[in-house]
Amino acid sequence: MQFEIRKAQLADVPSIHGLVHELAVYEKAADQVLTTQAMFQQDFSSGAFDAVVAINPETGQLVGMALYYTAYSTWKGKYLWLEDFVVQSDYRRLGLGKLLFDEVLRIARESNAFMKFQVLDWNTPAMGFYDTYGVQYEREWITCRKWL
């Protein structure tokens, strides 16, 4: 089956938000998702983030996505931060993850940027996937946050 990989459109936002919830359940953190579809729609419309999506051509259903935004490193310059990357469980192991990841890499290259992302230390399937790309794990950096 040939899946369509394309840039997200506003009409895709509810499905993207649904995939975020699916990912949160997988990561055992469903109760931590505070965003709403309305927030996603407003933020997508204002350019706060972008995404590429995978569409099942037989059903038209959105079955995977990679959500990213542009950020800046004072040491390295512009980069794309891959915030979330998920394929519905029924569609895993069909190569969709590779298609989505490759598309984000292409967008980063076209933007003269590099790409950064995080992976949970227990998510060995994801690490195995990223290892095929020769990614560097920055184990010395600790992610910090301050809620306002």
Residues annotated catalytic, as ranges: 130
- CA distances in angstroms from 63 to 4, 31, 51, 125, 131, listed in the order given: 10, 22, 13, 19, 23
CA distance 29 to 48: 23
Q: Which helix (H) or strand (E) holds 39?
A: helix 37-45
